Amino acid sequence: MSLNVVMLGPPGAGKGTQAEWLAREHGIPKVSTGDILRDAVQRGTPLGKAAKAVMDAGKLVGDDIMVGIVRERLEQPDARRGFVLDGFPRTVAQAEALETMLTGRGPLLVLLLDVPSEELVRRLGTRRVCGTCGTNAAPEAPAGARCASCGGELVQRRDDSESVVRERLRVYEAQTSPLVAHYRGRPTFVPVDGNQPTAAVAEALRRAVANAGALTS
């Protein structure tokens, strides 16, 4: 049976790190909507061209284009055994579209990383990314460390200032509450305490995957 996972959680909850680990452990692709959107634009696919036109006009890419790009990605051979989605769905309409994509592919496991707002503000305020290649630095990277990928200087992202972070969290809560309500109550919806060391969160996710398999087998 395939392992189909959606990772939910606010900015700074560690979704990307945990999604990467989960995908690697199960030999399935991590599907980041930001990555596949940029790839579609770069390759000049019909949906990529449509997305570029929207973004060039300063607008947000709509559900129809995002659903199409995700559908194309999940139809690729490496996603037949499953996937870990990071950044999709963001709306109930996208969640409903995802359900149709999964017909005949097994259940959907929805993992919600739960972290208190003040901890998120602290994490994002100390987060560093490479100013050259954009790679996130490891949380434990010491002051003065360089990028592990390219050796570039580590800097603070502009959108990680406290005022911007608090606004991002407010927007996230407003946009995501209906989505969480859509999934809550399912046996395969699992909230996980993300306010733990990275390894402890990974172990909690491992248990969630194992429990979901027992529920659906």
The catalytic position among 30, 73, 123, 127 is 127
The catalytic position among 52, 71, 81, 168 is 168
Q: Which helix (H) or strand (E) holds 193?
A: strand 189-193
Whether residue 52 lies in the annotated active site: no
Q: Which helix (H) or strand (E) holds 7?
A: strand 3-8
Pairing of strands 108-114, 189-193: parallel
Whether residue 15 lies in the annotated active site: yes
Whether residue 90 lies in the annotated active site: yes
* Beta carbons of 216 and 107 less than 8 angstroms apart: yes
Whether residue 157 lies in the annotated active site: yes
* Beta carbons of 81 and 27 less than 8 angstroms apart: yes
Residue 59 structure tokens: 């607008």
Whether residue 166 lies in the annotated active site: no
Sequence-distant (≥ 6) Cβ neighbours of residue 23 within 8 angstroms: 29, 30, 83, 84
The catalytic position among 15, 30, 123, 128 is 15
The catalytic position among 52, 71, 90, 166 is 90
The catalytic position among 81, 105, 146, 157 is 157
Known catalytic residues are 15, 90, 127, 157, 168
